[in-house]
Amino acid sequence: MIAKNNGEFKLPYVFILLIIFCLLLGVSFNNQITGMVVLAILCTLVISYGTTIQLGFMDEAARKYPQSLALATSLISIFSNVGISIGSFSASTTVRFFSLNAVGYVAAIYGVIALVLAIFLGRAIKKEWAQA
């Protein structure tokens, strides 16, 4: 399971896979079977990184700010809804101006942003551990 045992350091690998499968999404729509397989893989990847981020967020709150654990739990759902809204807006705008096949390419851009942020997060955590 990705979420256990310092899963934050495994996130860049998950995001690399996410980017690859997002780029394959438009091409995979040409065949029903490959389209469904790529969509299933993308769903699995989204669940795996979402859980990892949630558990990491909760662990950080419990370790440094135990009094704010309830606030951390609330923030997770708030920012998940914000992310869903941004993704829905991006996808609907992409379909309106381009086509359904282009949605994967736009999603790959978000994947690249997430990859860069995950790399910076990993470095920040390692730096914090080195100072402790």
pLDDT tens by residue, 14-48? 999 999 999 999 899 899 999 999 999 999 998 88
Q: Which helix (H) or strand (E) holds 26?
A: helix 11-28
pLDDT tens by residue, 50-105? 777 888 778 878 888 888 888 888 888 898 899 899 999 999 999 999 999 999 99
Token pair 């990491």 is at which residue?
56
Spatial CB neighbours of 103, under 8 Å, sequence gap ≥ 6: 25, 26, 91, 94, 95
Among 10, 1, 37, 21, CA closest to 110: 21
Residues 92, 95: Cα–Cα separation, whole Å = 5
